[in-house]
Amino acid sequence: MIVRAGILYDGTLEPPKQNVDVVIDDGRVKEIRAAGGECDRQAACVTPGLVNAHAHLEGSGEPDMMAMIETTTPNQRLLRAVENARKSVKAGITTIRDVGSSNAIAQDVRDAIEEGRVPGPRMRAAGNVLCMTGGHGWPIGRAVDSPWEARKAVREQMKAGADCIKLIATGGVMTKGAVPGNAQLQPDELEAAIFEAHRHGLRCAAHAIGTEGIKNALRAGIDSIEHGTMLDDEAIELFKQRNVYLVPTLSAPTCILAHIEEGGMPKYVKDKARNVNEIMLTNIRKAYDAGVRIAGGSDAGTPYNYHENYAMEVELMWSLLGMTPQQALHAATAVAAALIGLHRGLVAIGEPADLLLLDRDAGKDVRSLQDPQLVLKSGVIQ
């Protein structure tokens, strides 16, 4: 297949290429050359497929996520996860990392996609989150209350097919009674889990909102901080020294606040989201300006935060963090892909042919990502 692009953003920060043909062979990009001769598809703008580094496929944006977990069966949630995987890939998300699911749902969806049974993005899955007893995320979590339990919990997740590990370093918005600013898993528990995961080649992500928990996770050797809301100057230094990714999930509080007047969300979710949102923008922007690597991830599945709306996170990185559209696209493709570690997230020779065909220049209007004309994953139309 030959795809002709009026303008091609390859996922890097290099100047885009004008009027080129992307030649696809056997699911991969074989050649990128000056446009000419016959072509199969044509678009004003072509970009890499989007990469969402933070999602929960079994959640569909229900206003009360924890109540949804309690009132549905694992089979029902599995079916919803399958539906959300299909919606994701149709919306242009060709790679996704599920950072917390119940009943190994994410691993099963990942495998079904790989086997070609259902459509969806290529995936990594963390399985259950590792949290302290009663800690944030416990309804989809495995309780861990000592370093040895942390090691064992990592081994259990690996046995259940997880290919990354999620650690709960602080409280969070969605769990009743969990205070976002408070540290939860302790440094020795984090260290033990991360050491064990890294020993087997699995990367670790930490849910971390409060300052102390963010720094605990950074010092313990974490690969990415999810949310990072209350980071301080010392945390920024640790991020940079250790080359850790920050996944700010701007969509999560933004979606809650946009629907704050509607019924269905517990009061504690609304109150916590309000508090978090106030400090989030200043701090994340400070980290970005200081040179911390920002990877795109939306926390899709949380209230009103739909899987098919990941383009909104790209838009928020542009409108709230002050990235250019191309920088935001870079964060949501190459940087997020580097964090996940399945491929490079680029339109480059030898890479999987994951392409979005857009009707207008994403570098001029980042919103063009919201509605791709065509999505290719490994050269196949989705």
- Residues at the interface with Zn ion (CB under 5 A): 299
Helices (H), the chain: 65-71, 74-90, 105-114, 147-159, 187-199, 211-219, 233-242, 251-258, 267-289, 311-319, 325-330, 336-340
Of 280 and 357, the one with the shorter C-beta distance to Zn ion is 280
* Eight-state DSSP code of residue 27: T
Nearest approach, Cβ of residue 93 and Zn ion (Å): 15
Contact of 353 with 24, CB cutoff 8 Å:
yes
16's tokens: 């885009």
292's tokens: 């911390």
Nearest approach, Cβ of residue 267 and Zn ion (Å): 20
Nearest approach, Cβ of residue 276 and Zn ion (Å): 13
Of 299 and 313, the one with the shorter C-beta distance to Zn ion is 299
* Eight-state DSSP code of residue 302: B
Nearest approach, Cβ of residue 225 and Zn ion (Å): 12
* Eight-state DSSP code of residue 175: S
CA–CA dist 125, 56 (Å, integer)? 9
Of 305 and 333, the one with the shorter C-beta distance to Zn ion is 305
Of 85 and 358, the one with the shorter C-beta distance to Zn ion is 85
* Eight-state DSSP code of residue 274: H
Nearest approach, Cβ of residue 96 and Zn ion (Å): 12
CA–CA dist 211, 209 (Å, integer)? 7
Nearest approach, Cβ of residue 277 and Zn ion (Å): 16
Contact of 64 with 265, CB cutoff 8 Å:
yes
Of 2 and 252, the one with the shorter C-beta distance to Zn ion is 252
- Whole-Å CA distances, 31 to 25, 35, 45, 163: 9, 11, 17, 31
Of 59 and 372, the one with the shorter C-beta distance to Zn ion is 59
How much is the CA Rg of the chain, to the nearest whole Å? Answer: 20
Of 303 and 379, the one with the shorter C-beta distance to Zn ion is 303
Nearest approach, Cβ of residue 338 and Zn ion (Å): 20
Triad 42, 44, 50: Cα angle to 5°: 90
Q: With DSSP H G I counted as helix, E B as strand and the rest as coil, what are the percentages for the chain, rounded to 5?
A: 40, 25, 40
Which residue(s) pair with 130 in the sheet? 142, 167
Tell me the residue nearest to Zn ion as measured from the CB.
Answer: 299
Of 141 and 352, the one with the shorter C-beta distance to Zn ion is 141
Nearest approach, Cβ of residue 56 and Zn ion (Å): 6
